[in-house]
Amino acid sequence: MSEPTNEISAPFRLSVIITTHNSKDWTERAVRSILSQTDPVGTEIVIVDDGSTDETLSHLKTQFFFEAKQGRLKLSETDRCGDQGKLKNLGAARSTGSFLSFLASTDWWRPGRLEALEPALHRHDLVFFTPQASMQSHDWIRALIADPWVLSSATVIRRSLFEEIGGFPEGYSGRILPRKIPGLEDYELWIRALATLVKEGKRERLLISKNEHVVSETHPKQLTPFHEQLKLIKQIISLFHVAPELPWKYWPEIARGVAETGRNWVKKWRL
């Protein structure tokens, strides 16, 4: 079994990056759910505010003054851009942990998250969590192409792997789609990360586990049929983005994935 890469000793082992925009109450809940954990890992929280106008950062500074002063909570603000890949990369760059987790501002942790996660960090570079009790596959790349089953807010990736694959895509300028058309930045990252581990013969450094501690919620504004259709379109775009980087044997699966996603989009559009 290959050994994990050596890591530089740092005060925090895990960095949780949260991007937010005009969601101060949701973000406060997410932060509280992390800070209330029993923490055998050593966890910092990095908030990247995407040009909020509801005084999100000042509110968080007031609510979590001690944690901010001690350096466990880092707050930063950018001009409004809406590019989630760019915002998450910015949060990763400002973090110090050997492992990275990206929690949506609308999501939160149940007690016991860090205690359950800590053993997995010793020998794994990528930890996927799924809603199912168990999943079996001889080819996880193929399975992920067929269905984006990974819970992004629960996934944990080793920093060295994250940096090796270049982080999240920011917009897009590709060979198949020449203009900058964004896909699902997290979906693309997980496929690239998984493909890298497989290519380097490090399949054992992937762990897939049932999610029991991360609660994912959707903002009411994103529950509309339009947002559901937009997500399916972005899923198709993402498959086009990653296709040139994968072995040709996956291209038929990508074609099937695009076709199936397209059929689902048509069904939702007709509804």
Nearest to 47 by CA among 1, 104, 118, 5: 104
pLDDT at position 221, please?
A: 63
Question: ∠93-112-20 over CA atoms, to 5°?
Answer: 35
Amino acid identity at 254: I
Q: Percent of the chain, pLDDT > 90? A: 67
pLDDT score, position 207: 95
Which pLDDT score is estimated for 50?
Answer: 95
pTM score: 0.88
Q: What angle do CA 143, 238, 161 make, to 5 degrees?
A: 70
Q: Give every residue of the chain whose pLDDT is below 70, as ranges.
A: 1-10, 133-134, 172-181, 219-226, 268-271
